[in-house]
Structure 1
Amino acid sequence: MSEQNKRVVLDYVDAFNRADLDAVCELFAPDALIHGALGWGGIEAARPVWSDLMRCFQISLEVDAVVAEGDSVAVRYTERGRSVASFRGGPVTGREYEMIAMEWFLVKEGHIKRRWGARDSAAMFRQLGLPFS
């Protein structure tokens, strides 16, 4: 089961890197709960946040490590991106960023039921030359 769950999470990474929002969302169970630096909620709360992040920062996740045991999968990434569109009314700087990010997933029956994300958004915004509020 651990290897199958790891595959679900790696499919999430692949879809995120392709900026395929529909494919990302399809990997989550309808009642999934998503916790992140910009808030928490169901897929309806996460979808617009992910859309903005993909569109504004062209985020790329490089998997540095992945551990799977039972229903749990933990991933450490090097996250990279660039300011290419206005994020929540802020300026476009064209600057790039790089940071470490981590996510923990609970996968059941081939779908992500819970996702917790940890990233240093303040460092990201500092590197991009954007105000952090």
Structure 2
Amino acid sequence: MKNREVVEKWVECFNRADIDGLCELYHQDAINHQVVTEPSNGLEEIRKLFEIEFGRAKMVCQVQKIHDAGDWIILEWSDPAGLRGCGIFHIIDSRIAYQRGYFDQLSFFRSQGLGIPDEYLNLR
């Protein structure tokens, strides 16, 4: 699978809340760092991140633009409520080795009708 296709598949799985499908796209020792929380290190923590997030909210990723820079793919996205963000993926051997996500957490909670927790995530 080409690197861009990995991210396109990631979006498909994300929009189905398909945690198993998402996890298949990551290396075992991958890092997923959403800037609103501490990095998730390794597949077990990444799975837990998705379980928590899909358990709390209905999330939809609408692709605005995909920038292909070889091993690095940048995904600009929005959701139906108007939230916008950006994901940066480092792809090695057709798997995500590193992901970094940028979005406004407060706007996310408000758009989902969620209360703002004292602590966003506690994976450890």
User: Could you state the TM-score of these two structures normalised by the residue count of structure 1?
Assistant: 0.79
Query: Equivalent residues in 2 for 1:94-105 (5 A)?
Result: 97-105=81-89
Q: Over aligned residues, Cα RMSD in angstroms?
A: 1.6
- Structure 1: runs of 5+ lacking an equivalent: 81-96
Match of 1:130 in 2: 115
Q: For this pair of structures, how many residues does the alignment match?
A: 115
Give the Cα separation in 2 of the matches to 1:129 and 1:28.
Answer: 29
Give the Cα separation in 1 of the matches to 2:114 and 2:11.
Answer: 26
Q: 1:98: Cα distance to partner?
A: 3.6
Query: Equivalent residues in 2 for 1:1-133 (5 A)?
Result: 4-36=2-34, 37-40=36-39, 41-80=41-80, 97-127=81-111, 128-133=113-118
Structure 2 residue identity aligned to 1:11: K
SS at match of 1:39: coil
1:41-84 CA distances to partner (integer Å, 9 max, x unpaired)? 2221121121121122111100001001110000011134xxxx
Residues 58 and 126 (structure 1 numbering): CA distance in 2 closer, same or farther, change over 3 Å? Answer: closer
Give the Cα separation in 1 of the matches to 2:55 and 2:15.
Answer: 11
Structure 1 residue identity aligned to 2:61: L
Higher relative strand content: 1
Give the Cα separation in 1 of the matches to 2:18 and 2:103.
Answer: 21
Give the Cα separation in 1 of the matches to 2:55 and 2:30.
Answer: 23
